[in-house]
Structure 1
Amino acid sequence: MPVADAQAFAFLAARQSYPMKAMTGATPARAELDPILTAALRVPDHGKLEPWRLIVLTRPDMARLADLAEARAREMGGDAEKIAKGRGQYDNGHLAVVVISAPVAAEKVPLAEQRLSAGALCMNLVNAATAAGWGAAWLTGWPAHDATFTARAFGCSGEETVAGIVHIGGRGPVAPDRPRPDLGRVVRWGLE
């Protein structure tokens, strides 16, 4: 019979993202962020390829990215809504970690597994920041899926893509939980 870690299970069972709009301007200092990043990097990584890289964004970086997102939206002929959505998370963010999926050529490790490793890193980052007492939210937005923007903003090239942008900040009041999936609707037992 396995020995349960009740505290860890309770944390995961109650886990929820913290809305970026509700975060205070407080952010972890580098000495506080380093252990969060160290914990987040404990993800499945077949072949020990480290098929990701991280960029920590602070407030000055956010202002630069907001301007880049606006410029890119205008280049694309975007309307006011597209511009506002592109600038949004950068105008309102204080600290974020960009997780770049950076696949490595490896015959035995498919591209899909490498991309999923980057996604697991995003989730681990949200959980580690939350466990450390911070609010955390995994967001992207259209600029993070635009190859021109990501090349200019984050130096993405080749097969590199943004897996996620995890905002981390101080917590105000606890956000209400949202409805969760019904197991009976999303889980199937067996192949019949």
Structure 2
Amino acid sequence: MTYKTIDSSRISISELMQPSHSNFGGKIHGGYILNLMDQIAFACASKHSKTYCVTASVDTVDFLNPIEIGELVTMKASINYVGRTSMVVGIRVESENIRTGEMRHCNSSYFTMVAKDDDGNSTEVPGLIVNDKNEVKRFLKAIKRIETKRSRQVEFESADFSHIDYLEDLSKYRVKIELPDN
């Protein structure tokens, strides 16, 4: 198996936000930012795997700060984790007021990308060489997110799942349960 460093596939892009990118509230549309994030995730994963890649899932997109028209948005992407055919690409989005130089962290997200061969079949990707404590931490966090997702799927998709087991937990939330008596 071949291995590649995280630095060898790290990508950064910047784009000036224009009025055509805005929503009805005058801020940059979240969907536009997600589109750019998907593009950089593709570029980063393809650079690592040397193949065409597709988006399998997007995890944890929290919009922390709005982006204004006229700001420079910079996205930084790196491979945080690799499986056999998949990669988790971590993306950080920052905006810069080009007049004042003020920088803000706008969001971070994790895109799971799958490498494909020319026939559209999943194909093996190179392993990952991690060089510092932050890279190890990102790799471990990706493993925890994967394990948590699998655990949730097992818990809620099992044949013996019963909502009755969760009614007491639900009482803490703003929900009123009105189920039929069958």
State the TM-score, normalizing by the size of structure 1.
Answer: 0.27
Larger radius of gyration: 2
Greater fraction of residues in strand: 2
Greater fraction of residues in helix: 1
